């Protein structure tokens, strides 16, 4: 739906990542290859597919989770 906002909720705990879109799990992955794991760096919001378009973001929140936090 191009005329409405969608909610993305991404939880990353070590090698385990879960992406929810509008309250539904859209992707879940666990990367167990230590050579590919990098738990620091840049967070980028981008799109690499389809024709040229405008993408907008709002109300972005980032929260560091400790081992006792459940999301």
Burial 36-65 (b: 16+ CB within 10 A, else e): eeeeeeeeeeeeeeeeeeeeeeeeeeeeee
Q: What is the pLDDT along the chain (71 residues), one digit of tens a residue?
A: 678 999 999 998 888 999 999 999 999 999 899 888 887 888 888 877 888 888 889 999 998 877 666 55
pTM value is 0.72
Alpha-carbon span 20 to 18, nearest angstrom: 7
Q: Where are the domains of the chain?
A: 1-71
**Residues belonging to the chain:** 71
């Amino acid at each position: 739906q191009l005329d409405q906002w969608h909610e993305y909720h991404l939880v990353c705990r070590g090698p385990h990542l879960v992406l929810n879109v509008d309250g539904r799990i859209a992707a879940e992955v666990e990367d167990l290859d230590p050579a590919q794991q990098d738990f620091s760096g840049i967070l980028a919001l981008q799109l690499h597919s389809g024709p040229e378009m405008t993408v907008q973001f709002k109300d972005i929140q980032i929260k560091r989770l400790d081992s006792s936090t459940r999301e």
